[in-house]
Amino acid sequence: MKKLMIAAIALFVGTTAFSQSIDLGIKAGANFSTLSDASGLSNKTGLQAGVFGGVKFSDKFGIQADILYSQQGADTDLGKFDLNYVNVPVVVKYYLFHGLNLQAGPQFGFVVDDNISKVFGEIVKAEKSDVSGIVGAGYDFPFGIRVDARYNFGFTDVIEGGDGKNSVYSVALGYSFL
């Protein structure tokens, strides 16, 4: 019985300690996107919004995953083309001091809507998924507010059989419920 009581207390203390490092919240911000490796394009401004969850393993390291609806694309002489994604970035966060952190990791994107064929003609189609890398910095305030600035650099082409990878700068404001 004594061993069972010690195990229950250890489990409760461990769970309580671990739950203090869990982070869940919402975020929204602005994207400034274009395509790298493609000429004649300029930045398109769009929005991003979604949820995030993370775990802080120590005073220095944590991991965060987001699920974001993200408006991306570029402006051309022919018009604006839109690529709307559901993006899932997973970043490792290294805390320099207090809430200031550096972020890096992969991002997986899934196209949910695009107008590429309307702008360029039926022969051009968007790839249905995207793999990118992310680097950035952020600050987590003690009262739940957070600010992130990130750069997303594409590894895969956005247009089937064409050149052009996502290149997106973003700034977001978030609120953690925990």
pLDDT tens for each residue of 69-123: 999 988 877 777 788 999 999 999 999 998 999 999 999 999 998 776 555 555 5
Q: Average model confidence (pLDDT) for the chain?
A: 85
- How many domains, the chain? 1
Q: Let me know if residue 3 belongs to a domain.
A: no
Q: Let me know if residue 6 belongs to a domain.
A: no
Per-residue confidence (pLDDT) for residue 127, from 0 to 100? 79
Its domain, for residue 103, covers: 22-176
Q: Let me know if residue 134 belongs to a domain.
A: yes
Q: Let me know if residue 162 belongs to a domain.
A: yes
Q: Let me know if residue 99 belongs to a domain.
A: yes
Interval 101-114: pLDDT, tens = 999 999 999 999 87
The confidence band for 16, taking pLDDT boundaries of 50, 70 and 90, is very low
Per-residue confidence (pLDDT) for residue 108, from 0 to 100? 97
Q: Let me know if residue 54 belongs to a domain.
A: yes
Q: Let me know if residue 1 belongs to a domain.
A: no
| CATH code for the domain of 72 | 2.40.160.20
Interval 146-164: pLDDT, tens = 999 999 999 998 877 777 8
HEC sequence for the chain: CHHHHHHHHHHHHHHHHHHCCEEEEEEEEEEEEEEECCCCCECEEEEEEEEEEEEECCCCEEEEEEEEEEEEEEEECCEEEEEEEEEEEEEEEEEEECCEEEEEEEEEEEEEEECHHHHHCCCCCECCEEEEEEEEEEEECCCCEEEEEEEEEEEEECECCCCCEEEEEEEEEEEECC
User: Longest C-alpha distance within the chain, in Å?
Assistant: 77
pTM above 0.85, yes or no: no
Per-residue confidence (pLDDT) for residue 132, from 0 to 100? 96
Q: Let me know if residue 103 belongs to a domain.
A: yes
